[in-house]
């Protein structure tokens, strides 16, 4: 596909350049940490948008894919001594494999059954992680996960300078892939399937196979993000599978607007800074989840297409494009 040098591509390129320059302006470790977390969440939220928004699969197990990435990477890196870079990739692959498992019942089911099965699936993974505490650390969590290095460079140095770029790079690549997928023939076919399943089937779109692919692709990015999450934080807890994490990421998808990819990315940045900012105040650590819950409800009730729909028309359309 030829790259069109219109205002839109230039704008995106400018945003990437700004992203690349941030660490030179922002020297503070904590603020850089917030950016890194936001990039991770952005990947999870935008990949969820592929299955929930574009394909219209009522998938509520996406955060479990993220969690599987976390544990698959953490365990292979820590116990098997796999190189953390490879372990991160393995996290993505493991999440995709889990997606195949979930897809077995999900591609054949409708509406509410999909909601219930995917919820049940995430609880299953949670139960396995908690019950196999000898390996996973159980409710105590996984600790001392080895972290990445490159040519002997320790990423913890220079105020997380290196982590920032890895996270940013991962996000840019993931978003580019997701956008490309969403706008490809494949993306069109899953949207057709979402809007009118019977029509899509009559046009020869293999519904079950497309659903399977969507889940596998979106799970890969979630798993990859999970892998980076654990090598970056070096700890993991079953909390990643909780309803709270699900609602946090879900709020990013909704606030940003579904079927946009960019929307959830922007919402992830904003919500991470707001919610982590609140976490610094005494007693508000739990309050931020309340804020996220309220934000979700307000957006669903008043702005069902996400905050982008509240922007001036021209902008809103571009965001929804």
List contacts with another protein (CB under 8 A): 58, 60, 104-105, 108-109, 111-113, 115-117, 119-121, 123-124, 127-128, 130-132, 243-244, 246-247, 250-251, 254, 283, 286-287, 289-290, 292-294, 296-297, 300-301, 304
CB of 51 to another protein, least distance (A): 13
* Cβ nearer to another protein, comparing 133 with 154: 133
CB of 53 to another protein, least distance (A): 11
Cα angle 92-262-6, degrees, rounded to a multiple of 5 = 120
Record the tokens describing residue 321, joined without a space.
């494009």
Specify burial of residue 134 (Cβ count, 10 A radius: 0-12, 13-18, 19+).
exposed
Which residue is it, tokens 């503070």? 28
**Three-state secondary-structure class, residue 141:** coil
142: which DSSP letter?
B
CB of 121 to another protein, least distance (A): 7
* Cβ nearer to another protein, comparing 156 with 278: 278
Residue 310's CB is within 10 A of a number of other CB atoms, namely 13
* Cβ nearer to another protein, comparing 56 with 162: 56
* Cβ nearer to another protein, comparing 254 with 267: 254
* Cβ nearer to another protein, comparing 109 with 191: 109
* Cβ nearer to another protein, comparing 70 with 102: 102
**How far, in Å, are 21, 119, 219, 294 from residue 97 at the CA level?**
36, 17, 9, 34
CB of 314 to another protein, least distance (A): 23
Q: Are the beta carbons of 237 and 109 closer than 8 angstroms? A: no
Which run of H or of E encompasses 6? none
List CB contacts of 153: < 8 A, sequence separation 6 or more: 162
* Cβ nearer to another protein, comparing 236 with 254: 254
* Cβ nearer to another protein, comparing 162 with 264: 264
CB of 127 to another protein, least distance (A): 4
CB of 98 to another protein, least distance (A): 12
CB of 77 to another protein, least distance (A): 24
| Residue in 300, 215, 285, 284 with CA at minimum distance from that of residue 251 | 300
Record the tokens describing residue 253, joined without a space.
């998808």
CB of 109 to another protein, least distance (A): 5
Record the tokens describing residue 88, joined without a space.
């991160």
Instruction: Report DSSP letters for 20-60, one per residue.
Output: HHHHHH---HHHHHHHHHHHHHHHHHHHHHIIIIIS-----
Altogether, the residues listed in the chain come to a count of: 321
């Amino acid at each position: 596909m030829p790259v069109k040098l219109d205002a839109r591509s230039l704008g995106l390129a400018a945003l990437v350049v700004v992203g690349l320059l941030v660490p030179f302006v922002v020297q503070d470790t904590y603020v850089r940490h917030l950016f890194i977390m936001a990039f991770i969440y952005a990947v999870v939220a935008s990949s969820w948008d592929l299955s929930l928004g574009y394909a219209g699969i009522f998938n509520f197990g996406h955060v479990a894919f993220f969690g599987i990435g976390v544990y698959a990477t953490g365990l292979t890196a820590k116990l098997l001594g796999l190189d953390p870079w490879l372990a991160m990739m393995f996290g993505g692959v493991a999440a995709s494999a889990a997606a195949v498992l979930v897809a077995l019942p999900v591609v054949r089911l409708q509406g509410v059954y999909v909601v219930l099965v995917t919820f049940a699936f995430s609880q299953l993974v949670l139960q396995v992680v908690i019950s196999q505490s000898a390996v996973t650390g159980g409710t105590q969590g996984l600790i001392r996960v080895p972290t990445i290095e490159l040519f002997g460079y320790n990423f913890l140095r220079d105020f997380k300078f290196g982590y920032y770029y890895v996270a940013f790079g991962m996000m840019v690549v993931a978003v580019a892939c997701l956008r490309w997928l969403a706008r490809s023939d494949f993306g069109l076919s899953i949207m057709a399937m979402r809007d009118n399943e019977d029509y899509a089937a009559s046009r020869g779109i293999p519904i079950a196979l497309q659903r399977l692919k969507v889940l596998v692709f979106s799970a890969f990015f979630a798993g990859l993000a999970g892998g980076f999450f654990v090598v970056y934080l070096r700890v993991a807890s079953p909390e990643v599978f909780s309803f709270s994490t699900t609602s946090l990421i879900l709020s990013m998808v909704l606030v940003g607007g579904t079927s946009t990819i960019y929307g959830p990315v922007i919402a992830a940045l904003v919500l991470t800074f707001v919610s982590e900012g609140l976490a610094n105040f005494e007693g508000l650590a739990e309050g931020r989840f309340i804020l996220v819950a309220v934000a979700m409800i307000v957006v669903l009730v008043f702005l069902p297409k996400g905050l982008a729909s509240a922007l001036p028309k021209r902008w809103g359309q571009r965001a929804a494009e």
